[in-house]
A and B are shown apart, each in its own frame.
Chain A
Amino acid sequence: MTTETTNRMDLVFRKLKAEGRTALIPFLTVGDPDLETTLAIIAELEAAGADILELGVPYSDPLADGPVIQRASTRALRGQVNIRTCMETALKARQAGSQLPFILFTYYNPVLQMGLDNFFAELDAHEISGLIIPDLPIEEAEDMRSRSRAAGINLVPLVAPTSSERIARIVNGASGFVYCVSSLGVTGERSSFHEGVDAFIQSVREATDLPVAVGFGISTGEQVARFAKICDGVVVGSAIVRKVEDVIPLLDSPSTRQAGLLQIREFVAQLKP
């Protein structure tokens, strides 16, 4: 992190560090159940205390995702949501007053089809501060890394408990934060974590000066609190997406919509470390 950074995500981490707090980083599948509702949910997450937001681009073949996010993707794809509409959603949220830094979480192929020149030109114009591309390991990421650096966008790398000697190479030259995958597997709530998870996070910390966040499987306030002690950020994905899924019947009807949104807000508020 350079001192003159203007990247919204970097600024949030700097502020939280000064305050001694850990970032709560929720994930949403954009367009689940529809784009207008996504905008309303973003406002609720911000009100509930979210610090940074991951906006998930729905994809036909989400290899890293478990059943909850797969189902959300399927719902969003039925509404013809694509990578462009996801970026537009970020911009609309900003225009509606959101101060959150946005991370676009997308598989590589939608980016590739948009064309890298085009993609990077649009990112900044759409208020996106960071990228997570789960199926782009460092061996394939050289071009994306240099383009991200040039554009001032943080390409957030994932490290896994099995990354071992790869960790140093992955974090070298990374920006934003380092995303530690809590356990081997796909996204989705779980009651236990990889047994060496604390040592793993510690080894990542030793390898980088960047903020370190953890995600995959974290679904309760207790779990967030457990990891908040050793991390700068905690990502909660499937648990929130499942909450959205649960309240879809409420969101669908004008008379119960506010109650549905409130349930999402309350759920996220109690995750806050």
Chain B
Amino acid sequence: MTQVPDQHGRFGSFGGRFVPETLMNALIELEEAYRKHSADPAFQEEIDYLLKQYSGRETPLYYAERLSKHLGEAKIYLKREDLNHTGAHKINNAIAQGILAKKMGKTKVIAETGAGQHGVATATVAALLGMECKVFMGEEDTRRQALNVFRMKLLGAEVIPVTSGTRTLKDAGNEALRYWVSHVDDTFYVLGSAVGPHPYPMMVRNFQRVIGDETRRQILEAEGRLPDLLVAAIGGGSNAIGMFYPFVEDENVGLIGVEAAGKGVDTPYHAATMSKGTHGVFQGSMSYLLQDEYGQVQEAHSISAGLDYPGVGPEHSYLKDIKRAQYVPITDAEALDALKLLCVTEGIIPALESAHAIAQVVKIAPTLTKDDIVVICLSGRGDKDVESIMAYTEGAEKA
């Protein structure tokens, strides 16, 4: 398999850099800085130090014995990204981009956020590194995730409610890009997922591959062999690409990305970009996209704010088209059931995002045998979701 992306940031026919000319120089400067610093071992050492001493890596690869027995014969492992500082894998990328920002001499960072996890991670790293931080968040999401808004403010960040478009994650991303155009001199844009114009999809993947690299080492230690299947949730797809990437060449390791089917892929209320989307350009790159026949981007729907996104990272689109990874939809209801199952079998409250990955394993469990080893990326913890789960459950009871 050839290395992706190529020098234009293309993953096959996906990726690239579809942005206004006003941003091109900033992206080229970013790419050059990234290439320069990532060739310097001291840069990686600095990242590794904070990942270990600050975020608590490595995260455990936990054999979920009670869940495994409940579901059948396969051995199911959980990669515990939920045990990171700030409660999700987002911090891996935020720490690395924060250090890169410092190296580039930037004094301010900005970020977009949906549920608030990436915003909290960026606000955290900004505090740690002594940088000013602005987080763009859809006005709709600031209401849904009021606690995370407060958390970011507590960490010293300014939260800017975005009132354009659908007032959700995609609009927060648009607004962050717009702001960045006019503040490029002193500001670094910490993009939270493996999406956007080149070099972001490549950079975020490389900053998240620690998930897959650790998993590989840990499973070899525990089982003496590679797993049969890796399962991860995808919105933009940063935890999934981080988990998958170190295994892409290992063709016996199956890769399953799980996207949000919301109320169902045959309703208008889903975020199933891979199942229902078509090729399109969105937020700076070519990928699968939920859009209408005239190329207007459609609103996505999911109980999980982190998966509520009409686009997907270009490398996932590539892995889908070359048939290296499989992408499947899971509904809100299936994800909630899986979430509850993990709570009672393992005493772990997963994030709603991660619950989608668990639900897929619940679904395919009958086809698995005692020789199968499955690793689920438990990308985040569910404390942030308790309120929405309560609201959803009560709503369902009333209905």
Contact = CB atoms under 8 A, between A and B. Distances in A.
B294 A184 contact: no
Given A140-B18, A186-B182, A61 B170 contact: yes
Contacts of B165: 60-61, 70, 74
A163 B24 CA distance: 8
Contacts of B184: 162, 184
Given A186-B181, A186-B182, A110 B294 contact: yes
B296 A110 contact: yes
B19 A67 contact: no
B16 interface: yes
Interface in A56-74: 59-64, 66-67, 70, 74
A186 B182 CA distance: 8
Contact of B294 (A82, A108, A166): A82
B20 A112 contact: no
Contact of A109 (B19, B171, B177, B295): B295
Interface string B7-31: 0100000001111111011100000
Contact of B178 (A160, A170, A186): A186
Interface in A76-111: 77, 82-84, 107-111
Contact of A140 (B16, B181, B295): B16
B189 interface: no
A112 B295 contact: yes
A137 interface: yes
Given A61-B174, A186-B182, A67 B21 contact: no
A116 B282 CA distance: 17
B136 to A, nearest CB: 13
B19 A63 contact: yes
B24 A135 contact: no
B17 A84 contact: no
A139 B8 contact: yes
A240 B294 CA distance: 26
B148 to A, nearest CB: 24
Given A61-B170, A67-B164, A109-B291, A185 B22 contact: yes
A163 B283 contact: no
Contacts of A170: 21
A186 B20 CA distance: 9
Interface in B1-51: 8, 16-22, 24-26
A160 B21 contact: yes
A70 B297 CA distance: 14
A140 B16 CA distance: 8
Contacts of B281: 107-109, 112, 135
B294 A185 contact: no
Given A108-B18, A113-B293, A170-B21, A162 B26 contact: yes
Interface centre among B19, B21, B283 (most CB of A within 10 A): B21
A74 B297 CA distance: 13
Contact of B296 (A60, A64, A160, A186): A60
A63 B20 contact: yes
A61 B26 contact: no
A123 to B, nearest CB: 16
Nearest to A59: B296
Q: Please tell me the size bucket of the interface on B.
A: 35 or more
B295 A111 contact: yes
Nearest to A62: B174
A164 interface: yes
A184 B24 contact: no
Given A109-B295, A162-B26, A63 B16 contact: no
B293 to A, nearest CB: 7
A151 interface: no
Contact of B182 (A59, A67, A163, A185): A185
B20 A158 contact: yes
Nearest to B8: A139
A135 B18 contact: yes
Given A60-B165, A163-B25, A134 B295 contact: no
Contacts of A157: 21
A82 B296 contact: yes
A247 interface: no
A63 B174 CA distance: 6
A107 B294 CA distance: 11
Contacts of B182: 183-186
Contacts of B8: 139
A109 B22 contact: no
A207 interface: no
Interface string A168-191: 001000000000010111100000
Interface in B155-184: 164-165, 170-171, 174, 177-178, 181-182, 184
Given A74-B165, A83-B295, A160-B21, A61 B283 contact: yes
B264 interface: no
B180 to A, nearest CB: 10
Contacts of A248: none
Contact of A160 (B24, B170, B279, B282): B24
Contact of A185 (B164, B171, B181, B284): B181
A262 interface: no
19 contacts: A61-B282, A61-B297, A62-B174, A63-B20, A63-B283, A64-B20, A109-B291, A109-B295, A110-B294, A113-B293, A139-B8, A139-B16, A158-B21, A162-B26, A183-B182, A184-B182, A184-B184, A185-B181, A186-B182
Interface of A: 59-64, 66-67, 70, 74, 77, 82-84, 107-114, 134-137, 139-140, 157-160, 162-164, 166, 170, 181, 183-186
Smallest CB-CB A-B distances: 5 pairs:
A113-B295, A185-B182, A82-B294, A110-B295, A162-B25
Given A140-B16, A160-B21, A185-B181, 19 more contacts: A59-B296, A63-B178, A64-B22, A74-B164, A82-B296, A83-B295, A107-B281, A109-B297, A113-B278, A113-B295, A158-B21, A160-B20, A160-B24, A162-B22, A162-B24, A164-B25, A166-B25, A184-B184, A185-B178
